Amino acid sequence: MIPVKELKEGDSITTRYAVRGKESPRDYRNREGKYFFLTVGDRTGDIVLKYWGGSDPDRTLEVYNSISVGDVLEITGDVEYDRFSEKLVIRVNEDTHHIRVCGPDEYSPEEFLPVSEKDLDALYTTLLKRALDIKDEDLRWLVLSFLEDSEISGMLREAPGSAFYHYNFLGGTLEHTVNVVALCDAMCDSHEQLDRDLLVTGAILHDIGKTRGYRYSVSIEPTDEGRFLGHPSLGYVMVKERISSREGFPSEKAMKLYHLILTHHGDAEKGSTRRFKTPEACALHHAVQADEMTQSFLQAVEEGEGDKEDWVYSRSLGHEIYRGGD
C-alpha cells in the first residue's frame, strides 16, 4: 500500500484506501455519462478520488452504489495536480482503471486511521490529576464518575475530535480537552471572578458527547445519535443522567453546567442552542475556539507540506495560508 503522504504527481498507482466520504454522481455537461468524487485515505492523510465514468451512466451508478463510507477500496489510477483545488487528486477513468471493494481479510484496520502523536495515557493522567484538584465536592464527584468509569475512559482515549477537520484522529478529543482545560485555567488566573471549578468541569466534560457521537473502524463517521442530536446535546444528556443519580446535587449548579456544555460552540449553526448567559460559558467557548482554530491551521499547514509554493489554498479553512520561510 502506498501511503497518501507519499503520493506524487504523475504516479500510476495500484493501492488500497478507505472511503471517508462520497459526493453524489453528476452528469457530464457535453456528453452522455456520469462522474463522481470520493474522499479516500489512510492513516497518513486523505485525498480526493475523481471517478470519470464512460458513456453508460448505469454502469457508473452501479459502481457508485456498490461503495459505502467505511469500505476499503482497491484502486488503480493516476495521481495528478488539480488546478481547481490546488491539490493532488487520484484520477480513475472507468475504461482504463478500476476500483473494487475489498473484503475484511484483505487489510488491517490500523492501516487507515491516524492516531494522536501524543502519549494518550499521559494525557489521561493529566486530566485525572486536574479533576482531583476540583474543590467543589459535587463537581469533583461528577467529573471523576466519568473519568474513573472504565468504559468511558476507554472511549475518551480513542474518540476523534472530528471526522474531517481539527483533531480528526484517534485520541483527538482527549488531546483537545487537555488543551482546553489548560486555557481555561489560564483565564481563571487572569480573571479571578470566574468560577474556576465550574469552568474546569465544563472544559473536561464539554466534548464528552463525542464518545457517543462517532464510530470508527477504517474511517471516522458520525453515529445516528451524533447526526440527529450533535455532540453538545449528547453531552448534556450524559451529564444529566449522571447528576440525576446523585441525591442533593444543587439544581442551579447543574443548570450552569448544562449551559456550558450546550453553548460551547457559540451559535446555532455550530450546534449551540442558547446565547451565553454566564461569563464561564463565554470563556469556555473562546477557549474551545482558540484551540480548534489553532489546530485546524496547523493541520492545514502540514497538509500543504508537499506544495512548493509559499502560499497555498486550504479547503478546510476556506482561504490562503502562508507556509513559507524556514
Q: Is 243 within a domain?
A: yes
Q: Please report whether residue 223 resides in a domain.
A: yes
On whether both 236 and 147 belong to a single domain, the answer is yes
Q: What are 109-124's pLDDT values in tens digits? A: 888 988 999 999 999 9
Do 126 and 107 lie in one domain? The reply is no
In a domain, 195, yes or no: yes
324 assigned to some structural domain: no
Site of grid cell 480537552: 177
Do 131 and 224 share a domain, yes or no? Answer: yes
- pLDDT above 70 (res 306): no
d(CA 284, CA 187): 9
Structural domains counted in the chain: 2
Could you tell me if 128 and 153 lie in one domain? yes
Note whether 280 and 140 are same-domain residues. Answer: yes
Domain that holds residue 55: 4-111
The pLDDT assigned to 215 comes to 92
pLDDT for the residue 15: 97
Instruction: Check whether residue 200 and residue 105 sit in a common domain.
Output: no
pLDDT of residue 272: 59
Domain boundary pick from 73, 94, 111: 111
Q: Are the beta carbons of 39 and 46 closer than 8 angstroms?
A: yes
Residue-wise pLDDT tens digits, 277-290? 999 999 999 999 99
Residue 316 lies in a domain: no
* pLDDT category of residue 293 using cuts at 50, 70 and 90: very high
pTM of the predicted structure, to 2 decimals: 0.82
Q: What is the DSSP string of 5-53?
A: GG--TT-EEEEEEEEEEE---EE-SSSS-EEEEEEEEETTEEEEEEEE-
Render pLDDT for 167-202 as a digit per residue (tens, 0 to 9). 999 999 999 999 999 999 999 999 999 999 999 999
Question: Is 129 found in the same domain as 259?
Answer: yes
**CATH number for the domain including 158?**
1.10.3210
Confidence of residue 147 (pLDDT cuts 50, 70, 90): very high
**pLDDT band at 307; cut points 50, 70, 90:** low
Mean pLDDT across 223-235: 95
Look at residue 130 and tell me if it is in a domain. yes
Verify that 160 and 213 share a domain, yes or no.
yes
Question: Which residue would you say has higher pLDDT here, 218 or 313?
Answer: 218
Q: Are 194 and 275 in the same domain?
A: yes
Q: What is the DSSP string of 138-151?
A: HHHHHHHHHHT-HH
Quick check: 128 pLDDT over 60? yes
Instruction: Express each pLDDT in 36-86 by its tens digit.
Output: 999 999 999 899 999 999 999 999 999 999 999 999 999 999 999 998 888
Residues 75 and 139 in one domain: no
Query: Is residue 35 located within the same domain as residue 77?
Result: yes
Q: For the domain that residue 27 is a member of, what is the CATH number?
A: 2.40.50.140
Statement to judge: residues 83 and 184 lie in one domain:
no
